[in-house]
Structure 1
Amino acid sequence: MPTQVLSPHEISERIRLKARELGFGAVGVAPVRPSAYGDAYTRWIGEGMHGEMAYLAREDAVAKRRDPAVLVPGARSAVVVAIEYYNADADAAAPADPSRGIVARYARNLDYHDLLKERLIALQEWISAELLPVQGRAYVDTGAVLERELAQRAGLGWFGRNTMLIQPRRGSYWFLGTILLDVELAYDAPFAKDHCGTCQACVSACPTGALLGRDAAGAPRMDARRCISYLTIELRGPIPRDLRPLIGNRVYGCDICQEVCPWNSFATPASEEAFLAREGLDGPSLIEWMTMTQEEFSARFKGSPIKRAKRRGLLRNVAVALGNWGSPDAVPALAAALNDEEPLVRGHAAWALGRIPDERPVDALRARLEVEDDEWVISEIKSSLDED
């Protein structure tokens, strides 16, 4: 139990020091109050831009995002932490090689949720043990919390047009975490200035047109249904045919809107080894991944964020990337995938084969058509044969 009474200012300052001791690169403290973007969020949901992420549209989830005090009754303060995860491509030529896949930087090693949550819980327990008794709850990108708004309110940065939180001269490659507490603390000044200015680099660079600028309240808008991260991770079914060619060789997530941001020229490599790319996740061979069994998938991605897509989702993405490559070298792997147990994989493999200028795909597609019993896969095979 705490042995001395500290002022709110002293408590906040000691929390900041402890957070940095635990490895967080930035920390701020903000008051808990209703979101300034609550109405914008509700309109976004009403327009269906959340796609199939139904958890974002539940009535209780919307209410919690509009006001964190609904999520954690009695919450008065938010401790917001951030930790850098940037890692440069080990092989600078890999992203431009269409035979190799691109994995978003945040997913090239361990799942950040586990590491951050453990440290946030440790921070909350330390506050109760050393400073003052508190009740609250820690969140890392999984609860109904608008983390980036809280981070802006805690002085950590501004909302970029790419929807990311950007810190001056430090960029946007940050994981965020939040502890909602039932005590009044001393607060940091909110980050007031928008340093994006007239820059439209991220909006212009998005291949699928997912970034839509800002709304009347100043919040950046995104149509998640067109975002490559959504298409390759959150979407559980087929990727829309008109968007497949725009994905290129991105097989899990997308960093384009961050890569083109001028502020990320200041990004420095993560100090946490857990966020540096593990072997095989920095420019993997698409052909090799296309042949991955369930057992290989489970072993390879144990503890990785990539497990979220499941094997069928990842191989769907790999098939699309192989189709965009369009090389005859991909035919054997794609032809074998026509016999995969997952219709999602078979259908996208059929689409990819239809984009390869070779006679072998036609033979493989016709052979599969004779035995295929899934109507959607049949439609994909027929479309590919018609386009040949």
Structure 2
Amino acid sequence: MERGDKGSAVDKSQTLKEAIRAEAERLGFAACGFTRADAADSAGLDIRKWIEAGNHGTMGWMETRADHRVSPKAMWPDARSAIALGMSYAPASDPMALENETERGRISVYAQGGDYHKTVKKALKALARFIVDAAPSELKVFVDTAPVMEKPLAQAAGIGWQGKHTNLVSREHGSWLFLGVILTELELAPDAPATDGIHCGTCTRCLDSCPTGAIGPEHRIDARKCISYLTIEHDGQIPEEFREAMGNRIYGCDDCLAVCPWNSFADAAAANRAFLPRAELTAPSLADLLKLDDAAFRDMFAGSPIKRIGRDRLIRNCLIAAGNSGSGALAPSVEVHVSDPDPVIAEAAAWALDQLRMRDAIQAC
């Protein structure tokens, strides 16, 4: 036997693929599949068209590294095989539960626990060491911060298929998978790919549920309309046409995922414990969040993916949610931001106050 990471043993009676699958499971991955490194090249060409149409909004980093996204081999010519991996974060509760709790902020399920980048990458590196011990070779690991097309590669590797909302859907885990990829120079027999979209049938729940109609023709998302993009990636003023549709969503949006019928098969017990929701992030008070200064923000969101957007962007989002709340009780919390030195925050506060005053006037009639 050869020794792997942390004393794990590779039984030579297993194939290398079987050994990798077993170790991936031990490290917390719920899904593991194999495909050729160039198996999803057509998706790379599609994303180039998507970027040329301006659908990426202000995410300039996508345009900057578009050439690398066309194919993993464009980034690393020696790559022969791709190992696609999924780690479950299936929620135990309804992601839509706070829809009518207008004085509380809704945070996307994936961001209520620990930062998935760190957890997934740590496990990927451990699996990479195991593979190198078992079969000395060059390889590279990727989470979603690198220009690798994880979802098309995961579909090619048979983990799941890209639904009409463009996210990966798994028979076993629904839509709740964090994806990672290992590229290797090893020749590994590919698994059977998942059939593109056939399992969605005529269902259009994800399309119908999108609050801003961001999922357009050919099932492509226009990021400029997507609430996840607007609340996380976009750093300027949120266009007024989308503010009411944001409701009380202050970080991301789960609607198109939450309504997918395949999620009925997802088992919350399979979720990695690192992603269990933190109590203070499951139903945070907008009034409390609007009191955060920079130091308090960094303390509250330490170890959370939310920390990346910074305090000012979160306050902007909370002000929009407060304006949508219809709750006059939030007016004092909003008013303190009207004179903020950041013009984006000041404008959002003024808008929110106008919304609250307008509702008060309507109710008084």
Partner Cα separation in structure 1 for residue 332 and residue 360 of structure 2? 9
Match of 1:44 in 2: 50
Match of 1:156 in 2: 159
Partner Cα separation in structure 2 for residue 132 and residue 358 of structure 1? 67
For 1:77, the aligned partner's letter is S
For 1:156, the aligned partner's letter is I
Match of 1:375 in 2: none
Structure 2 segments unaligned to the other structure (5+ residues):
4-9
Contact preservation (8 Å) 1:12, 1:187:
no
Structure 2 residue 175 is the aligned partner of structure 1 residue 176: no
Structure 2 residue 339 is the aligned partner of structure 1 residue 339: yes
Match of 1:26 in 2: 31
Contact preservation (8 Å) 2:28, 2:87:
yes
Match of 2:132 in 1: 128
Post-superposition CA distance 1:325-377 (Å, at most 9, x none): 1221111011111133422211101110010127999xxxxxxxxxxxxxxxx
| Shift in alpha-carbon separation, 1:93–1:132, aligned structure 2, 3 A | closer
SS in 2 for 1:134: coil
Post-superposition CA distance 1:237-285 (Å, at most 9, x none): 1100111111000000000001111111222215322211101111111
Match of 2:281 in 1: 281
For 1:232, the aligned partner's letter is T
Match of 2:216 in 1: 212
Match of 1:240 in 2: 239
Contact preservation (8 Å) 2:90, 2:173:
no
Partner Cα separation in structure 2 for residue 170 and residue 286 of structure 1? 32
Alignment of 1:248-263 (within 5 A): 248-263=247-262
Match of 1:265 in 2: 264
Partner Cα separation in structure 1 for residue 35 and residue 331 of structure 2? 55
Structure 2 residue 69 is the aligned partner of structure 1 residue 65: yes
For 1:348, the aligned partner's letter is A
SS in 2 for 1:191: coil
Partner Cα separation in structure 1 for residue 274 and residue 123 of structure 2? 14
Match of 2:229 in 1: 230
Which of 18, 22, 26 is the matching residue for 1:13? Answer: 18
Partner Cα separation in structure 2 for residue 350 and residue 252 of structure 1? 21
Match of 1:53 in 2: 59
Alignment of 1:288-299 (within 5 A): 288-299=288-299
Contact preservation (8 Å) 1:77, 1:183:
yes
Contact preservation (8 Å) 1:328, 1:358:
no
Structure 1 segments unaligned to the other structure (5+ residues):
215-219, 362-388
Match of 2:149 in 1: 146
Worse-matched range after superposition: 332-341 or 115-124: 332-341
Post-superposition CA distance 1:134-185 (Å, at most 9, x none): 1121001111011011001111011100111101143111000001111111
Contact preservation (8 Å) 1:291, 1:337:
no
Post-superposition CA distance 1:270-309 (Å, at most 9, x none): 5322211101111111111111111110100011010121
Match of 1:167 in 2: 170
Percent identity (aligned): 42
For 1:163, the aligned partner's letter is T
For 2:339, the aligned partner's letter is N
The count of aligned residue pairs is 353
Contact preservation (8 Å) 2:87, 2:178:
yes
Partner Cα separation in structure 2 for residue 172 and residue 93 of structure 1? 18
Structure 2 residue 107 is the aligned partner of structure 1 residue 103: yes
Match of 1:364 in 2: none
| Shift in alpha-carbon separation, 1:202–1:213, aligned structure 2, 3 A | farther
Partner Cα separation in structure 2 for residue 360 and residue 205 of structure 1? 29
TM-score, normalised to structure 2, is: 0.91
SS in 1 for 2:356: coil
Alignment of 1:289-368 (within 5 A): 289-357=289-357
| Shift in alpha-carbon separation, 1:359–1:37, aligned structure 2, 3 A | closer
TM-score, normalised to structure 1, is: 0.86
SS in 2 for 1:306: helix
Shift of 1:213: 4.2
| Shift in alpha-carbon separation, 1:359–1:183, aligned structure 2, 3 A | closer
Partner Cα separation in structure 2 for residue 148 and residue 190 of structure 1? 12
SS in 2 for 1:291: coil
Match of 2:6 in 1: none
Shift of 1:2: 5.5
Shift of 1:39: 2.7
Worse-matched range after superposition: 142-151 or 69-78: 69-78
Contact preservation (8 Å) 2:95, 2:109:
no
Partner Cα separation in structure 2 for residue 93 and residue 85 of structure 1? 17
For 2:156, the aligned partner's letter is R
SS in 2 for 1:195: helix
For 1:24, the aligned partner's letter is F
